[in-house]
Amino acid sequence: MFLLVAVIFFISLIWFNRDKRYLPPGPIGLPIIGNLPYFILCKKEAPEAFGNLAKRNGPIIYVRFGAMEAIVLNDFKTIQEAMNHPDLQDRPEQKTFESKKIKDAVGGKAEGIAMASGKAWKHQRKFLVNTFRDFGVGKSRFEDSVAMEAAAMMAAIREKNNLPFDPQILFSNAFSNIICSVTFGKRFEYYDPKFERLLALVLRQFEVIGGAAVLAAFPILGKFEFGPIKEVTKNTLEFINFFQNIINDHKSKFDENNINDVIDAYMLEMRSSEVNGSPDPEVFNEKNLGALVGDLFFAGIDSSVSSLRWALVYFLINPEVQVKVQTELDDVIGRDRMPRWEDRSRLPYVEATIAEIQRIGTVAAIGGTHAARKDVTFRGYTIPKGIAVIPNVYAVMRNPVLWPKPLEFKPERFLDENGKFTKPEHFIPFNIGPRKCPGEQLAKMELFIFLTHLLHKFTFYQPEDTPAPSTDGKMGLTFKPPPFQVSLRERD
Ligand code: HEM
């Protein structure tokens, strides 16, 4: 009996690993579950575990979890080539949101930008990039909205009366409000119950989505809708309801001569496509609008919140860097006014510090999963149609050849011999290629304004009797620091 089981096991092992002939090397997978045990047993977060596999197998590796197969790219040149490849710009099919309940609520399949492929992605991405440009998002004329939100957040910080606090909620309030303003032209007071509910949902969704994605890789488990998948479905239905009310409100007040936000601009595009047949009416419709609004929330909040939290973690551990940033701000800007976006070219140490936070924090550690539109031959391997292609940006940002002593927090690595800010081409926090982050300019402005305004007014330090914050990031929707507490003093 034992012999029979052993024979069946080995035959299935060979069968499940059979079609690796043209695929890159990787660890041998078990039947059904694939490489899941490796990732559980190695006790590392996925980006680091991929990097370790690459040390043994070369920069391009193949891994499998249940039905989800992935090719992971672990060095800069490979990522650069793949992310610019015209046939590698799709997204893999999304099983996490496959629930019938979600489809019923939306009236079918809804595609925004972040998870879309083909023409839905191409047209809507172009729309978003143009709309951001027209509204001046991430440009000087948008600065006042960002600065106002930073001021509201600092007022809320002062209400903590010098008691230690976890910055997660306040940062989430602020960055959510910026996305609300861009998307539907409204910001909320921090204690508005509607806003508190929305924020709690957003934060919870960020927490459970990773677990749901793992379960969804096993179609049989995914069908039963339990645990995280059930919760993701429930939260998504609540989001749909929230966004739909806002869209309905915009519909009732729509005025084509008064386009104020992304939803207005999208409705104008829908009108034009109804009347002229261009842009494509199959793409610009209300279902996809809802999905696009959701994308802005999921892509545009957690990444900025986690970046600013990494900033505080590294300032608490390296107080001398915080002092240098404050000294540069005081020397260049002075104490009588707040720093402005246009000041940044005169603040090389500030720019270098923000870059170093983005490098060492690497919030988009596996920076955007792509997929092949058709079978692609890449560096002698086959990337089969639909398979996930993961750029391991974390491995690039911590490669000791590119960044000597990569675990040390050293803003100076971004300064040249004349003290000018400089960044090498392998610095890719927003990924590269046609699919790179369309919110890059906004994110850069948010980080600059929030960081400089906070350090202009406050000095952060580790609360007494608490351990130093951990730099061991955790993978959720983004790569983020574990919760920590911070204290501050108001500067003179
Ligand atoms: C520090 C902050 C941010 C970082 C590090 C970041 C990074 C990224 C990365 C790595 C991707 C995947 C690119 C790819 O698939 O190749 C992405 C996609 C995206 N990001 Fe960001 N992002 C940030 C902030 C924002 C903000 C503020 C917004 C919105 C206003 C935004 C909107 C998007 C959207 C819509 C996508 C999907 C693009 C597509 O699929 O074509 N991001 N971001």
Residue 198's pLDDT is what?
A: 86
Q: What is the pLDDT of residue 16?
A: 52
pLDDT(414) > 70: yes
pTM, entire model: 0.93
Give mean pLDDT, residues 350-368. 96
Residue 202 has pLDDT above 90, yes or no: no
pLDDT for 340 equals 97
Q: What is the pLDDT of residue 225?
A: 73
Report whether pLDDT(132) > 80: yes
- Residues in the annotated binding site: 437
Atom of ligand 1 nearest to the CA of 369: 15
> 397: pLDDT confidence band, cut at 50, 70 and 90?
very high
Ligand 1 atom closest to residue 433's alpha carbon, by position in its atom list: 16
Provide Rg for the chain, Cα atoms. Answer: 23
Average pLDDT score over the chain: 91
| Distance in Å, CA 114 to ligand 1 centroid | 8
* Number of folded domains that form the chain: 1
In angstroms, what is the span from residue 464 Cα to ligand 1's centroid?
37
- 220 vs 263, which has greater pLDDT? 263
pLDDT digits (tens, 9 = 90+) for 141-169: 889 999 999 999 999 999 998 899 999 99
The confidence band for 42, taking pLDDT boundaries of 50, 70 and 90, is confident
Nearest 5°: phi and psi at 224? -75, -10
Ligand 1: which of 175, 296, 437 to mutate, most ligand atoms within 8 Å of CB? 437
Please identify, by atom number, the ligand 1 atom nearest to the C-alpha of residue 182.
30
| C-alpha separations of 320 from 288, 326, 422, 461 in Å | 48, 10, 21, 11
224: pLDDT strictly greater than 90: no
Q: What is the mean pLDDT of residues 123-145?
A: 92
163: containing domain? 1-490
Distance CA(30)–CA(9), nearest Å, equals: 9
Average pLDDT over residues 237-261: 93
Residues belonging to the binding site for heme are 437
For residue 301, the ligand 1 atom closest to its alpha carbon is 27
pLDDT classification of 5: cutoffs 50, 70, 90: low
The pLDDT confidence band at residue 195, using thresholds 50, 70 and 90, is: confident
Most confident of 185-194, 292-301, 422-431: 422-431
In one-letter notation, the amino acid at residue 118 is G
Nearest Cα residue to atom 1 of ligand 1: 304
Supply 105's token pair: 């609520």
Q: Evaluate if residue 106 carries a pLDDT over 80.
A: no
Residue 473's Cβ-side half-sphere holds a number of Cα atoms within 13 Å equal to: 28
pLDDT value at residue 220: 66
Ligand 1 site, CB within 6 A: 83, 113-114, 125, 295-296, 299-300, 303-304, 307, 363-364, 367-368, 429-431, 435-439, 442-443
**428, 434, 436, 438: CA torsion to nearest 10:** 140
User: In testing the pocket of ligand 1, which one of 303, 305, 478 has its CB within 8 Å of the most ligand atoms?
Assistant: 303
With a CB cutoff of 8 Å and minimum separation 6, the contacts of 225 are 99, 233
DSSP letter at 468 equals P
Give the residue-averaged pLDDT of 241-249: 93
268: its two tokens: 């104008």
Ligand 1 center from residue 138 Cα (angstroms): 13
> 450, 386 in Cβ contact below 8 A?
no
pLDDT at 233 over 80: yes
Nearest CA to ligand 1 atom 22: 437
The tens digit of pLDDT for each residue in 380-391 reads 999 999 999 999
- Report how far ligand 1's centroid is from the alpha carbon of 22 (Å): 32
Distance from residue 111's CA to the centre of ligand 1 (Å) = 16
Q: Which phi and psi angles does 366 have, rounded to 5°? A: -110, 75
The tens digit of pLDDT for each residue in 250-303 reads 999 999 999 999 999 999 999 988 888 887 888 999 999 999 999 999 899 999
Atom 37 (ligand 1) nearest CA: 114
Query: Ligand 1 centre and the CA of 297: distance in Å?
Result: 11
Specify the CATH number for the domain of residue 36: 1.10.630.10
The ipTM is 0.99
Residue 370 CA: nearest ligand 1 atom is: 15
Per-residue pLDDT at 17: 53
How confident is the model over 268-280, as pLDDT tens digits? 999 988 888 887 8
- The vertex-139 CA angle with 133 and 144, nearest 5°, equals 125
CA distance 245 to 261: 16
Could you tell me the distance, in angstroms and rounded to a whole number, from the CA of residue 299 to the centre of ligand 1?
Answer: 5
Share of the chain above pLDDT 90, in %: 71
Tally: H helices and E strands in the chain? 18, 10
Residue 110 has pLDDT above 90, yes or no: no
The total number of residues written for the chain in this structure: 492
The DSSP-derived string for 115-157 is T--HHHHHHHHHHHHHHHHHHTTTSGGGHHHHHHHHHHHHHHH
